[in-house]
């Protein structure tokens, strides 16, 4: 039975893809024999409320217009504290749930034993065997577990908001090394340009290859430039 589901999944049947992910998640040996394609995996991480889901939503718009097929994994911490955020994501992403070019799936970042979800790598690998042009992974936070998830990505976008003091914590967290693109979202907020300048200066000395993209995701500003940066 699994063989048939796998066959349908790699042909792009979303119900079968969801089914396989559930099997992997519940540690069922699926025995998947698939071939991973060279599909770009983009990680989008940052603190809760920074605007990751709003950005993903805006990016999906652009990629869908291009005719791309996109898989989105939302990796949420199991913590009850974040359930409001997950619900918010559902509402924001709702227009994509039934879109034929988009597959969206939420995952817990924790396995049943409380450790880091052990099957994320397997799930990403499986998605790369399905007919997608791009895999987007949204993860909450800038902690160690998120960094681990992000290591599976080809490119990582760190979403920040213009609030002073964040930079120092960032430097400590280790995410600066892992991130390729720094988004400063909520550019409509006061002080945002100063923050961008500070960030560029901070990165210039040690990480000159990192890109900074200012956006106002809820207004659709800076999204095209961000997409271009992601695609190149």
Ligand X SMILES: Nc1nc2c(ncn2[C@@H]2O[C@H](COP(=O)(O)OP(=O)(O)O)[C@@H](O)[C@H]2O)c(=O)[nH]1
Q: Taking contact as CB under 6 A, which single stretch among the options 9-17, 104-112, 180-188, 191-199 is the one that binds ligand X?
A: 180-188
50 binds, among ligand X, Mg ion, none (CB under 5 to 8 A by kind): ligand X
Dist CA 123 CA 107 (whole Å): 10
State the CB neighbour count (10 A cutoff) for residue 43.
Answer: 28
- Least Cβ distance, residue 133 to ligand X (angstroms): 23
Cβ proximity to ligand X, 73 vs 216, nearer residue: 216
Task: Please report whether residue 76 would count as binding Mg ion according to CB under 5 A.
Answer: no
State the CB neighbour count (10 A cutoff) for residue 194.
Answer: 11
Dist CA 132 CA 73 (whole Å): 13
Q: Taking contact as CB under 6 A, which single stretch among the options 59-67, 147-155, 175-183, 210-218 is the one that binds ligand X?
A: 210-218
- Least Cβ distance, residue 216 to ligand X (angstroms): 4
- Evaluate the CA torsion angle 122, 127, 129, 130 in order and state its sign: positive
Task: Please report whether residue 216 would count as binding ligand X according to CB under 6 A.
Answer: yes
Exactly one of 52, 128, 152, 211 binds Mg ion (CB under 5 A); that residue is 52
Q: Which residue stretches of 115-173 are H helix?
A: 120-127, 144-150, 166-173
**Contacts (Cβ under 8 Å, ≥6 apart) of 187:** 162, 193, 196, 214, 215, 216, 221, 222
- Least Cβ distance, residue 51 to Mg ion (angstroms): 8
Task: Please report whether residue 129 would count as binding ligand X according to CB under 6 A.
Answer: no
Q: Pick out residues in 135-174 that bind ligand X (CB under 6 A).
A: none
Q: Which of 43, 76, 24 is nearest to 147 (CA)?
A: 43
**Contacts (Cβ under 8 Å, ≥6 apart) of 83:** none
Dist CA 14 CA 157 (whole Å): 26
48 binds, among Mg ion, ligand X, none (CB under 5 to 8 A by kind): ligand X
Exactly one of 24, 135, 142, 217 binds ligand X (CB under 6 A); that residue is 217
166 binds, among Mg ion, ligand X, none (CB under 5 to 8 A by kind): none
222 binds, among Mg ion, ligand X, none (CB under 5 to 8 A by kind): none
Specify the length of the chain in residues. 232
Cβ proximity to ligand X, 84 vs 115, nearer residue: 84
Residues at the interface with ligand X (CB under 6 A): 46, 48-54, 85, 88-89, 92, 185-186, 188-189, 216-218
């Amino acid at each position: 039975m699994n063989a048939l589901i796998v066959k349908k999944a790699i042909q792009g049947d979303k119900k079968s893809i969801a089914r396989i992910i559930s099997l992997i998640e519940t540690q069922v040996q699926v025995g998947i024999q698939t071939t991973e394609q060279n599909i770009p995996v983009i990680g989008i991480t940052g603190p809760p409320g920074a605007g990751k889901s709003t950005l993903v939503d805006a990016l999906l718009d652009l990629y869908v217009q291009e005719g791309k097929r996109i898989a989105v994994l939302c990796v949420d911490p199991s913590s009850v504290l974040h359930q409001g955020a997950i619900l918010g994501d559902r509402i924001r992403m709702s227009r994509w749930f039934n879109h034929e070019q988009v597959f969206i799936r939420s995952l817990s970042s924790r396995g049943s034993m409380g450790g880091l979800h052990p099957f994320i790598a397997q799930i990403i690998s499986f998605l790369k065997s399905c007919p997608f042009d791009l895999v987007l992974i949204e993860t909450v936070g800038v902690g160690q577990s998120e960094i681990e998830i992000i290591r599976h990505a080809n490119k990582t976008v760190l979403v920040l908001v213009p609030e002073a003091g964040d930079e120092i914590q960032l430097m400590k967290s280790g995410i600066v090394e892992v991130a390729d693109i720094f988004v400063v979202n909520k550019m409509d907020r006061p002080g945002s340009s100063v923050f961008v300048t500070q960030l560029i200066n901070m990165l210039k000395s040690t990480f000159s290859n990192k890109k900074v993209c200012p956006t106002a995701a809820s207004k659709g500003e800076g999204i095209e430039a961000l997409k271009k940066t992601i695609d190149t």
